[in-house]
């Protein structure tokens, strides 16, 4: 079973170096994503699950929270500690948090 986390708690986890998986499509990610988020579109999550770390939380984010729930459920079935971010990238932006534009993952 996966869990869900609200944006406020996700902001704290992100500040602590959370592993963030963005499951949107590349054009959505390029338009603006959480700094440090790894792009793994929803359709590729099953194939990528084996390459993701076990034993640490993975915070799964999309635009609003729907796709992240699907991806988090799949990852949980694969043995991952997956947490879907309620409100997604829209909630992150709504909280005044920064986004990175383009395909680079690890720039603030």
- Write down the pTM of the prediction: 0.94
pLDDT at position 92 over 90: yes
pLDDT at position 108 over 50: no
Sequence-distant (≥ 6) Cβ neighbours of residue 39 within 8 angstroms: 22, 24, 26, 29, 33, 103, 105
Decide if 8 is catalytic: no
What residue spans define the domains of the chain? 3-94
Superfamily of domain 3-94: Rhodanese-like domain (3.40.250.10)
C-alpha–C-alpha distance, residues 73 and 51, integer Å? 17
- Give tens-digit pLDDT for 39-84: 999 999 999 999 999 999 999 999 999 999 999 999 999 999 999 9
51 or 107, higher pLDDT? 51
Catalytic residue among 34, 37, 42, 62: 62
């Amino acid at each position: 079973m996966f869990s869900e986390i609200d944006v406020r708690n996700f902001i704290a986890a992100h500040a602590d170096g959370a592993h963030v998986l963005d499951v949107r499509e590349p054009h959505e990610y390029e338009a603006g994503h959480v700094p440090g988020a790894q792009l793994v579109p929803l359709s590729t999550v099953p194939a990528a699950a084996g390459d993701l770390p076990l034993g640490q939380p993975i915070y799964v984010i999309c635009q609003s929270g729907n796709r992240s729930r699907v991806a988090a459920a799949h990852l949980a079935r694969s043995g991952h500690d997956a947490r879907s971010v309620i409100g997604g990238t829209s909630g992150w932006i709504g909280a005044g948090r920064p986004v990175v534009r383009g395909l680079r993952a690890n720039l603030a």
